[in-house]
Amino acid sequence: MLPEPSTLADIPTLGSAVSEAIARRYNESGGERYGITPESFHNIVATVVIRYAGEASEKEQLDLVATLHVAELTLARACSAGNEMAWDVFLTRFRVPLYESAYRIAKDEATGRELADGLYADLYGMPNREGRRISRLDYYMGRGSLKGWLRTVLSQQYVNRYRSQSREISLDEQVEASVSFAERPAENVPSPDDRVAAAIAQTLTELNSEERYLLASYYLDQRTLADIGRQLHVHESTVSRKLERVTRQLRKRVRKRLQAAGFHPRRCDELMQELDVRDLNVDVAAALRQETSPGTFYK
Partner 1 sequence: MKQSEPNTLRRELARSQQAGPHPDADVLTAFAEDALPEREKKQLIAHLAVCAHCREVLSVAASATPEPITDDTAHVLPRPVHPPLRTWLPWVATAAGVVIVGAAVLLHERKQEFKPRSENNASAPTTATVQAPAQPDKQLQTAIAQAPKPVHNKPGPAPVAKHTESSQQATDAVIASEYREPSNRLETIPQNPTSVAGPIAGALPAAQSPPPPVSPLASSRVAPAFAMSKALGLTEAQSVNAVRPHWRINSSGQAERSVGDSAWQPVLPNERSKMRVVAVFGNDVWVGGEDLRLYHSSDSGTTWSFISLPGKTGGEHAIAHIVFQTPQAGTVEADDGTSWTTIDGGKTWK
Binding mask 13-32 toward partner 1 (x if CB under 8 A, else -) reads --------------------
Please say whether the beta carbons of 119 and 137 come within 8 A: no
Does 273 bind partner 1 (CB under 8 A)? Our answer is no
Angle at 71 between CA 113 and CA 30, to 5 degrees: 125
Does 122 bind partner 1 (CB under 8 A)? Our answer is no
Among 6, 37, 145, 273, binds partner 1 (CB under 8 A): 145
Please say whether the beta carbons of 14 and 61 come within 8 A: yes
The residues in 241-260 that bind partner 1, with binding defined as CB under 8 A, are 247, 250
Q: Return the range that interacts with partner 1 (CB under 8 A); candidates 17-25, 63-71, 84-92, 124-132.
A: 63-71
Does 120 bind partner 1 (CB under 8 A)? Our answer is no
The residues in 67-96 that bind partner 1, with binding defined as CB under 8 A, are 67, 69, 72
Among 151, 242, 255, 257, binds partner 1 (CB under 8 A): 151
Among 34, 41, 90, 218, binds partner 1 (CB under 8 A): 218
Which helix (H) or strand (E) segment is 51 a member of?
Answer: helix 38-53
Please say whether the beta carbons of 204 and 213 come within 8 A: no
Q: Return the range that interacts with partner 1 (CB under 8 A); candidates 24-32, 37-45, 152-160, 175-183.
A: 152-160
- Minimum Å gap between C-beta 133 and partner 1 is 20
- Minimum Å gap between C-beta 172 and partner 1 is 27
The residues in 219-238 that bind partner 1, with binding defined as CB under 8 A, are 219-223, 227, 230-231, 233
SS3 assignment, position 16:
helix
CA distance between the termini of the chain:
29
Which helix (H) or strand (E) segment is 270 a member of?
Answer: helix 265-278
Among 201, 252, 267, 270, binds partner 1 (CB under 8 A): 201
Q: Which one, 128 or 222, has the nearer CB to partner 1?
A: 222
Does 38 bind partner 1 (CB under 8 A)? Our answer is no
Q: Return the range that interacts with partner 1 (CB under 8 A); candidates 10-18, 125-133, 189-197, 262-270.
A: 189-197
Write 78-87 long-range contacts (CB < 8 A, 24+): 78/31, 78/34, 78/35, 78/36, 79/123, 79/135, 79/137, 80/125, 80/133, 80/135, 80/137, 80/138, 81/34, 82/133, 83/34, 83/35, 85/33, 85/34, 86/34
Q: Which one, 27 or 37, has the nearer CB to partner 1?
A: 27
Inter-CA distances, 48 with 28, 56, 87, 110, 142, Å:
17, 13, 22, 36, 8
Number of residues that bind partner 1 (CB under 8 A): 72
Residue 114 burial (CB count, 10 A): 14
Rounded CA-CA distance 142/13 in Å is 20
Among 60, 109, 173, 206, binds partner 1 (CB under 8 A): 60
Does 50 bind partner 1 (CB under 8 A)? Our answer is no
- Minimum Å gap between C-beta 230 and partner 1 is 6
Residue 40 CB contacts under 8 Å (≥ 6 apart), including other chains: 31
